[in-house]
Structure 1
Amino acid sequence: MTITQLKYVLAVAEHKNFTIASEHCFVTQPTLSMQIQKLEDQLDVKIFNRNKKPIQLTQVGEKIVEQAKIIVDESNRITDIVDQQKGYIGGEFKLGIIPTVMPSLLPMFLKTFVKKYPKVNLIIEELTTEEIIKKLTDGHIDAALAATPLENEAIKERVIYYEPFVGFIPKGHRLHDHKTIDVNELELNDILLLEDGHCFKESVLNLCRTFKNETGSHFRLESGSFNTLIKLAKENLGMTLLPYLHTLDLSENDQTYLREFNAPVPAREVSLIYHKSQLKMQLIEALKDVIDSLVRGAIAFNDVEIISPLQHKKGA
């Protein structure tokens, strides 16, 4: 039994197809199939039911895959231990970032991190929270920046900052003349929302404790872009809520439409998250240190109330 054979088994278990698995393992399909067959012969069991489409794990195969993940992770840990002992910070590091954090946070830290750690091959992917959790669980990314808490026992969360919500309220809106706003003044039927899949949308829904009757509302619009929501708000089609960092790049004129909340200010918790079995802790610590040092100067809010990104739940 070899680590390579176990990696091939994990690839087929994930993709449920020998050809696709071989492509991801950068070997020919006959080579991958032969190695898995050798392992099955050695163990005298069938790991996969090849008669099913797509290919499925047998009952014993499910247990083998579960153990194979542990073995492959532990084998990778040897390299990680050596790197940490040497103080080496380098190699490939895959980072997922949710769409509502990517545009504001990434430009703040990317240049500094790359300059400070030139030996790190940082691969960044924009992903929804659901995609992030799956990819962390499957080992396809090493860490992520996401809104928390997620209440997932397999995911470790390292809080980086608390980002307040800010109202973007156009002229003519009932709240425009208010210097500050209260949460209980919000009405869901006149708030322009992000589309499904964005955890910021769920946070806004959780924030709106009073769900008004939508009678008289002629349309319901959800967008994947804060910029689109801002433009529509300026056309007097409603108000919207923005995360604080996104407001820093607004034009001087657009900033006149911003209204802060009265204390305690509703805010989202943004964390660096990773799977509990994660190996590349020296890279995670390096990334967290860089982001911490830069974001501290941009956000200095203490009296906040954290709004959960979890669907239909409210954070403490």
Structure 2
Amino acid sequence: MTITQLQYVLAVAEYKNFTLAAEKSFVTQPTLSMQVQKLEDELDILIFDRGKKPITITEVGKKIVAQAKNIVAEAERIKDIVDQDKGFIGGDYTLGIIPTVMPTLLPMFLNAFIKKYPKVNLIIKEQSTQTMIKNILDGHLDAGIAATPLEIEFIKERPLYYEPFMGYVPKNHRLASEELLRTDQLDVSDILLLQDGHCFREGVINLCNAPQSLRGEQFKIESGSFETLVSLADEGMGMTLLPYLNTLNLEEDKRVNLKSFEKPSPAREISLIYHKSELKIQITEALREVISGIVRGAIAFQDVKIISPLGKK
């Protein structure tokens, strides 16, 4: 039994196809198939049922796949131990970022991180929180940046910053005359929301204490971008809520429509999330240090109340 064989088993388990698993593993299909077969012969069991399409995992195979994940992760940890001992911070590092954070945060830290750690090959992917969680579990992401808390057993969360919500209230709105907004003034029926799948949408709904029955039913106007929501608000379609960093680049004529909340300001917690196995932790810590240092200067708010991105039960 070899680590390479276990890696091939994990690839087949994920892609349910020997040809695709070989392609993703950068080997030929006969080579991968032969190594998996050798492992099955050694163990005198079948890990995969090849008679079905897509390929399925046998009951004993499921247990082997689960253990293989642990073994492969621990083997990779050996290189981490050596790198940490040598003080080396480098190599490939794949980072997921949720769509409502990517456009504002990435330009703030990327250049600084690359200059400080030139030996890290940072691979960045925009992903939803649920996709990110699955990819961290499967080993396709080293870490992610998402709204927390997530309350997932195998995920560690390290808060990076707390980002206040800001109201974008056009002059013809019922709250336009308010100097500061209060959460009890919000009415979910006239707030423009992001489309389903965005955790910021869930945070806004939770902030408004909207019942489960209102989700996805009242709102016919939804968008995947804050820019569209601002434009719709300008057209008299309602108000919207924006994360603080998304307000920094608004045009001057639109900034007059921004309103803060009474303290404690509702805010979202943005964290670096990663597997509890802490692989490549030296790069994760370097990334956290750079981001926290930069964002700390951009967000001066202290008195905040964290709004959960989790859906109401």
Q: TM-score range by the shorter chain?
A: over 0.9
Q: Give the structure 1 partner of residue 83 of structure 2.
A: 83
Q: 2:166 matched to 1:166? A: yes
CA distance in 1, matches of 2:289, 2:234: 38
**1:80 partner SS:** helix
Conserved 8 A contact 2:170-2:176: yes
- Structure 2: which amino acid aligns with 1:116? K
Residues 59-208 of structure 1 mapped to structure 2, 5 A cutoff: 59-208=59-208
**2:256 partner SS:** helix
- Structure 1: which amino acid aligns with 2:160? I
CA distance in 2, matches of 1:136, 1:210: 31
**1:305 partner SS:** strand
Q: Give the structure 2 partner of residue 271 of structure 1.
A: 271
How many Å apart are 1:263 and its aligned residue? 1.3
Conserved 8 A contact 1:192-1:238: yes
- Structure 1: which amino acid aligns with 2:197? G
How many Å apart are 1:278 and its aligned residue? 2.7
- Structure 1: which amino acid aligns with 2:191? I
**1:144 partner SS:** strand
- Runs of 5+ unmatched residues, structure 1: none
Change (3 A) 1:288 1:219: closer
Percent identity at matched positions? 65
Q: Show CA shifts across 1:101-126 (max 9, x none).
A: 11111111000000111111000000
How many Å apart are 1:210 and its aligned residue? 5.4
Change (3 A) 1:110 1:130: same
TM-score (norm 1): 0.96
Q: Show CA shifts across 1:240-285 (max 9, x none).
A: 0000011011111111000111111110000011010131000001
Q: Show CA shifts across 1:192-224 (max 9, x none).
A: 10011100000001000256x99xx99621100
Q: Give the structure 2 partner of residue 285 of structure 1.
A: 285
CA distance in 2, matches of 1:308, 1:293: 24
How many Å apart are 1:189 and its aligned residue? 1.1
CA distance in 1, matches of 2:90, 2:124: 15
Runs of 4+ in structure 1 displaced over 6 angstroms?
Answer: none
TM-score (norm 2): 0.97
- Runs of 5+ unmatched residues, structure 2: none
**1:261 partner SS:** coil
CA distance in 2, matches of 1:298, 1:40: 56
Conserved 8 A contact 1:186-1:210: no
Conserved 8 A contact 1:98-1:128: yes
CA distance in 2, matches of 1:47, 1:219: 48
**1:242 partner SS:** strand
CA distance in 2, matches of 1:287, 1:202: 27
CA distance in 1, matches of 2:183, 2:256: 20
Conserved 8 A contact 1:96-1:145: yes
Q: 2:46 matched to 1:37? A: no
How many Å apart are 1:21 and its aligned residue? 0.4
CA distance in 2, matches of 1:52, 1:16: 10
Conserved 8 A contact 2:92-2:121: yes
Conserved 8 A contact 2:189-2:219: no
Residues 235-246 of structure 1 mapped to structure 2, 5 A cutoff: 235-246=235-246
User: Root-mean-square deviation (CA), in Å?
Assistant: 1.5
